[in-house]
Structure 1
Amino acid sequence: MNTYTELDMPGYQEVVRCDNPEVGFTAWIAVHNSHRGPALGGCRVWCYDSDEAALTDVLRLSRGMTYKNALARLPLGGGKSVVRTDLLRVDRVALFEELGNFVEHLGGRYITAEDVNSTLSDMVAVKRRTSHVATVGASGNPSPFTAYGVYCAIRASVRHKLQREGLDGLTVAIQGVGETGGRLAELLKKDHCRIIASDINPAHIEALGKKIDLELVRPEEIYTVACDIFAPCALGGILNSRTIPGLLCQIVAGSANNQLQTEEDGDLLSRRGILYAPDYAANAGGVINISCEIDQPYDEKLAMRRTAAIEQTLLEIYRLADEQKRPTNLVANTMAEELFGASLVC
C-alpha cells in the first residue's frame, strides 16, 4: 500500500514522496511550475544510491521540464516522477500499477509518460489506475520524435557554427545509443555522417551495429574523440570542468537532460568556442509529440511539423546569444522564463 508524504521544497509548487515497502519501491513526484498548464514529464526508474540522490534528480528534471515545455510553447507545465528500486527484484506490473495510484493521488496536476527504464507497456499498467498518463493508445513511443528533434537541432547548429546546410561528411560522436541515441545515429547516417559511438550497455552497440556502420570507443574515451559534433544521449551532468577541457568538437547537441553540471559550464563551453545546443531546446521532440494527444485526437503529421520547429528555435537562441554576447544556455533560460513566468513559481 502506498503512503504519501508532502515535502516542502522552495521554488516548487508540489513535491510528494511515495513509499511502498510491500512492492519494494520509493518514488517522488515533483511539480515545478504549472502556470502554462498541468505538469507533464516522464517517469524515470533508477537504482539510485540514496533517497537524497533520487530527490535531487526529480527536482532537477522537473525544473528542466518547465523550461522545455515553455520554450516549445506548449500549454503544459513542468513535472517529473522518479522511482528508486531494483527492477530485477520487484513485480514490475505491481510497481507501475501502484505508480498509477500515486499519479492519481495528485488529481491531474501531473501527467506521466515513459522515460528512462519505463516503457509503453509499463504505462499501460499505470493507466489501469489513472487517466493522467500519456502515450498509451495514442502517440506511443516518444523516442523517434526526440531523436528527430535533436537531428533538427544539429542541423541548426551546423548551419550557425559551420555555415553549411548539409551534414554529409561530418563526424558525430554519440554518447549513448539506446532508444533515442540509436535512432539519432540512423538519421545522421542517412545524411552520410561518420558515427563514433559509446554505450555502457553492449546490447545497444550490438543492436545499432546491425543497422549501420559505426566506430566504437570505450565510454571514457568518447569525451576526447576528434569530431565535429558531440551528442550526449545518456544521463546528465556530463559537461563539467573535468570533461569540457578535453572536448575536441565544435558543437554539442544531444538528447540527454541536464547535460551541464552547472550553469557556469555553459560559459566554459562558450569560452572554448564550442556551440552548445541547450538540452531542453534540442530534446523537446518527445514532449511535443505527447502534447499532440492531450485534449485532442493524436495527429502524427502535426507532431512532426511542430518538432521540426526546434531548428528555428535553436537558430533564434544562437542569434540572440551572438547579439547579447551571452552563453546559449542562459539565453534559452531567459526565453523560457519569459514564457512560463518565473516570478510565479511558488
Structure 2
Amino acid sequence: MKLFETVKEMGHEQVLFFQDKELNFKAIIALHDTSLGRAMGATRLFPYASEEDALRDVLRLSRGMTYKAACANIPVGGGKAVIIANPDQKTDKMLRAYGRFVDSLQGRFITGQDVNICPEDVQEMRRETRYVVGLTGKAGGPAPATALGVFLGIQAAVFFQFNKQDLNGLRVAVQGLGNVGGKLCDYLHRRGVKLFVTDLNHNRAEEIKQLYGATVVEPEDIYSLDVDIFAPCAMGAILNSETIPLIQASIIAGCANNQLQDENIHSAMLKSKGIIYCPDYVINSGGLINVYHELTFSDEASYLKQIHSIYDTLLEIFTKSKAENITTQDASKRLAEERILKARKLAIAA
C-alpha cells in the first residue's frame, strides 16, 4: 500500500500511529473528515494479519463514519481507531496507555467500544482521557441501539421491496450472534420471523436456537439459504465475488461494517441481481446516535426519534437509487456528500 497516495485518495485529514514498546502493542487513529464536527468513532481491538491490513481497515472504517454521521444528521466528523493485538493480550495497562494516546489529540477524536472492547474497557480508558463515550452506567455501549436501528432498516427495506409492513412469516438469515446480532434476533423473533443463524462460537448459536427457535447452520451455508433477508452481523468483506452469486435473499440488511469487499464492483453485482442492499454505515448508525446523545446529554425522546429516522433515511436512499438507476451504495454516498458540502459552505460563509 502506498500510504500517502491512499490517504489522499480516500480524503483523510490525518492518520496517527502509536507504539508502546513496553506493552508490545500498536494502534492507529484515522481522522477522515471533520467538516461536520470533531471526529468520532469507536476503537476496535483485533489481531490483524499485517499492519497493512490494520491500516486498510481503519481507513475504510473512518471514512464510513463520516458518511454514517452525515446520513444520520449527527454533527460530528468521521474517525476510527484500531489496536493491533490479540484479545487475550488486553490489559488495563494497555487500555490506559491507549487512553493517553487518545488524550494527546486534545478532543479532536472521541472514541468508544467496537470489536473486542467492552464498556468496562472504555471505563479504564477514561482514567486517562475524558474523550470517550459508552461508559458503564451511561449509554453503556452501542449494541442495543445499533440492533434497533438495523431492525428499523429491515422494516424499511421490507416495505420498499415487498410493499409489506408486517414481518411475520419472513425468513431471515443472521450471520454473527454477538451483542448486536443476538439482540437483532430478539427483535425479529418478537415479530414472527423465522430465523436461520450461524456463528463461529457454536455455543452461542445453540443459545440463540434455544431462545428463539432458530435453525443453526454451518458458517459456509449461511449465504445460499432460501430466505427473504440476509443480515451480516460479523466482520466485513463478506459480500464478494464468491458469496454474492450464492445469495438468494432479496434484501441484505445487517450491522457489520465494510460488508462490501469492493464498494463499486460488489454493490453493482447486488443491484444486477435485484437485491436491495442497505448501506452498512446507514443501517448501523444507531450506535453512533446513542453515544452522541450521551455526549450531549440529550433526552431519551430525541434520541429515540433520531434512531427511528434511520427508517426514513433508507427509504430516501432506496428511492434515489431507483430514480437515478444507481446502486444504493452510491445513493447513500451522494446523500452524505451533499450534506458535508453544505456544511463546508456554511462554514466558509460564517
Fold-level match, TM-score > 0.5? Answer: yes
Could you tell me which residue of structure 1 aligns to residue 47 of structure 2? 47
2:130 equivalent to 1:118: no
Which structure 2 residues correspond to residues 61-80 of structure 1 after superposition, within 5 A? 61-80=61-80
Distance (whole Å) between structure 1 residues aligned to residue 193 and residue 159 of structure 2: 15
CA deviations over 1:170-190 (Å, ceiling 9, x no partner): 000000011000100110000
| CA positional deviation for 1:207 | 3.3
Q: Distance in 2 between matches of 1:300 and 1:236?
A: 31
Q: Whole-Å Cα distance in 2 between the matches of residues 341 and 219 of structure 1?
A: 41
Residue correspondence of structure 1 range 211-222 to structure 2 within 5 A: 211-222=211-222
Aligned position for 2:175 = 175
Per the alignment, do residues 14 and 245 of structure 1 end up closer, same or farther by CA in structure 2, a change over 3 Å counting? same
Could you tell me how far apart the structure 2 residues matched to 1:89 and 1:282 are?
32
Equivalence for 2:101? 102
Q: How does 1:27-42 map to 2 (within 5 A)?
A: 27-42=27-42
- Which letter maps to 2:154? I
Q: CA deviation at 1:343?
A: 11
Residues 273, 19 of structure 1: alpha-carbon distance in 2 compared, 3 angstrom cutoff: same
- TM-score normalised according to structure 2 size: 0.93
Match of 1:341 in 2: 341
The 3 A distance-change label for structure 1 pair 48 and 205 is: same
Aligned to 1:85: 85
Equivalent residues in 2 for 1:289-308, closer than 5 Å: 289-294=290-295, 296-308=296-308
Relative to the length of structure 1, the TM-score reads 0.94
Match of 1:132 in 2: 131
- Deviation >2 Å, runs of 4+: 206-211, 298-302, 341-344
Instruction: Give the Cα–Cα distance (whole angstroms) in 1 for the partners of residues 37 and 292 of structure 2.
Output: 11
Gaps of 5+ in 2: 345-350
Given residue 139 of structure 1, which amino acid in structure 2 is its aligned partner?
A: A
Aligned pairs, how many?
A: 336
**How much has 1:342 moved relative to structure 2?**
9.8
Query: What's the CA shift for 1:140?
Result: 1.5
Cα deviation, 1:12-66, whole Å, max 9, x if unaligned, reads: 1110110012112100000000110111110000011111111111111001000
Task: State how far apart, in whole Å, the 2-side matches of 1:329 and 1:201 are.
Answer: 31
1:177 counterpart SS class: coil
Gaps of 5+ in 1: 1-6
Task: Assess, with a 3 A threshold, how the Cα gap between structure 1 residues 28 and 342 changes in structure 2: closer, same or farther.
Answer: farther
CA contact (8 A) 1:293 1:299 kept: no
The structure-2 alpha-carbon separation of the partners of 1:169 and 1:116, relative to structure 1 and needing over 3 Å to count, comes to: same
The answer as to whether partners of 1:139 and 1:298 remain within 8 angstroms in 2 is no
The structure-2 alpha-carbon separation of the partners of 1:280 and 1:215, relative to structure 1 and needing over 3 Å to count, comes to same
Aligned AA for 1:108?
G
1:281 matched residue in structure 2: 282
Aligned to 1:268: 269
8 A contact 1:138–1:298 mirrored in 2: no
Deviation at 1:206, TM superposition (A): 3.4
Partner residue of 1:312?
312
Residue 182 of structure 1 aligns to a residue in which SS?
Answer: helix
| CA distance, structure 1, for counterparts of residue 57 and residue 181 of structure 2 | 21
Residue matched to 2:331: 331
Identity of aligned residues (%): 40
Does 1:247 pair with 2:229?
no
| Counterpart amino acid of residue 113 in structure 2 | E
In structure 2, what residue type is equivalent to 1:135?
Answer: G
